[in-house]
Structure 1
Amino acid sequence: MIKLLFVDDQAVTLRFLENCFGDADRYEIVGSLIQAEIADLWCERKKPDAIFLDIQTKEKATNGLEMAKRIKEKFPQIKILLMTGFDEISYIPRAREIGVDAFLLKSYPEERFVQILQEVVYEGRMVFPEENNQIPVEEGQTPLTEREIEVLRLICQDHSNKEIADSLYVTESTVKRHVESLLRKTGKSGRAGLVAYAIAGGWINPNI
């Protein structure tokens, strides 16, 4: 029996998860929450084995990544499966750093949700969708690295090279090299082009 907690501010997603894991012989749903800010308190009270957590809620104070970090610090044994409705992967480096166990797109079918939960809980695997969700690059160029994706996300949030360097604990010259690599790989001529490309394509959500 796997005890599950669901956290998402969209009722349709909560219903989807409840349908996915409605087998009472295999799963116990200990809560379906619309507020991420109380998820850690619910974990303390209900002690779930795994939590499906939306990466972005309407709350300004607490998003899914922040709550995932708090839960992992307090309850490292709980498996955290982050969900996003955006087909983008710029969150993955931070999710890995926090210790998130899986990263799911809400567009996945029910059977994929069930499969990933089984892999995480019973096989101890960490499941991330990197191979199927690369940001497109120019023909002949290598895929963007996780660090380049992180730099691109910060560019989309209107950070300067110095601010990016401070955030990532690297030098400004290192950031400049990453930016030059991003421009070369995407075929864009400047930062504005990078931002438009990443956001319009749905690869980067600058609000997280």
Structure 2
Amino acid sequence: MNGMNDMNGVRVLLVDDHATMRMGFRMILEASGIDVVGEAATGAEAVSAAASLRPEVICMDVQMPDLDGIEATRRILAAARDAPPRIVIVTTFDRDDYLFAALDAGASGFLLKNAGPEELVSAVRVVAAGDALLAPGVTRRVIERFARTSGNGSDVPVRPPEIDPGLTEREREVLRLLAQALSNAEIAQQLYIGEATVKTHVSNVLQKLGARDRVAAVVYAHRHGLA
């Protein structure tokens, strides 16, 4: 996939114990050309479906029978050795414990069910492209929580700090803007460079920091005074 225009073929698994919610999500995604390859009503079904259907993105509810969405996320990612799916937690509950547990389990996004249809479509496309996505207002809470913590016991995996992670000056600029929760398009505007160039810089930053995704990079930036 080379960009947002190539995202119509994204394979999505919907996981929610309410059939009407799954139906609504399916209609929204399929109307945007996104391929819904399957549905699951429980966490256990999600684990099984993820293994057999190999979706690229999973929209995962939290509160479900037999296995909650957080534990299902953890098991799915642990079992996926090659090309693990990107998982977006989609929940009714705007709770910090769900948010941080989801990030710790390896989720790439966190979205509330009251989000508009365009936000759901955007979330699927953003995580499929390799980025992380948090609902509006959530990024600030992540930063505030982890900026107050020490370097130990982080809920968001980041490699132990190095004296010099080897970032170039431009990469440091990009990291500072990431720490302000700016998108690639907004960073491109700030630095007067192309969006593809920003994506390359972001990828280099994540690799050098040993950060799993943009959220982990933001936490690193705030902890180590790079914001």
- Shorter-chain-normalised TM-score: which range? 0.5 to 0.7
Give the C-alpha shift of residue 18 in structure 1.
0.8
1:69 maps to a residue whose letter is R
Give the C-alpha shift of residue 93 in structure 1.
1.9
Report SS of the residue matched to 1:82: strand
In structure 2, do the counterparts of structure 1 residues 41 and 147 end up closer, same or farther at CA, with 3 Å as the change threshold? farther
1:145 aligns with 2:145: yes
Aligned equivalent of 1:116, options 115, 123, 140 = 123
Equivalent in the alignment of 1:131: 137
Deviations 1:174-208 (A, max 9, x none): xxxxxxxxxxxxxxxxxxxxxxxxxxxxxxxxxxx
Over aligned residue pairs, what C-alpha RMSD do you find?
2.6
Structure possessing the higher radius of gyration over alpha carbons: 1
1:94 aligns with 2:101: yes
TM-score scaled by length of structure 1: 0.59
Equivalent in the alignment of 2:74: 69
Distance 2:74 2:138 in 1: 25
> Is the Cα contact below 8 Å between 1:93 and 1:146 reproduced in 2?
no
Report SS of the residue matched to 1:21: helix
TM-score scaled by length of structure 2: 0.55
> Is the Cα contact below 8 Å between 1:55 and 1:64 reproduced in 2?
yes
1:34 aligns with 2:29: no
Give the C-alpha shift of residue 146 in structure 1.
5.0
1:10 aligns with 2:15: no
State the number of aligned residues. 139
Percent same amino acid at aligned positions? Answer: 22
In structure 2, do the counterparts of structure 1 residues 41 and 145 end up closer, same or farther at CA, with 3 Å as the change threshold? same
> Is the Cα contact below 8 Å between 2:42 and 2:68 reproduced in 1?
no
Distance 1:130 1:4 in 2: 22
Equivalent in the alignment of 1:186: none
Give the C-alpha shift of residue 12 in structure 1.
2.0
> Is the Cα contact below 8 Å between 1:88 and 1:133 reproduced in 2?
no
Equivalent in the alignment of 1:22: 30
Unaligned runs of 5+ in 2: 1-8, 149-154, 156-227
Report SS of the residue matched to 1:66: helix
Give the C-alpha shift of residue 104 in structure 1.
0.7
Give the C-alpha shift of residue 110 in structure 1.
0.4
Distance 2:17 2:25 in 1: 13
Equivalent in the alignment of 1:197: none
Q: Which moved more, 1:6-15 or 1:65-74?
A: 6-15
Runs of 4+ in 1 over 4 A off after TM superposition: 132-135
Distance 1:73 1:126 in 2: 19
Equivalent in the alignment of 1:104: 111
1:49 aligns with 2:56: yes
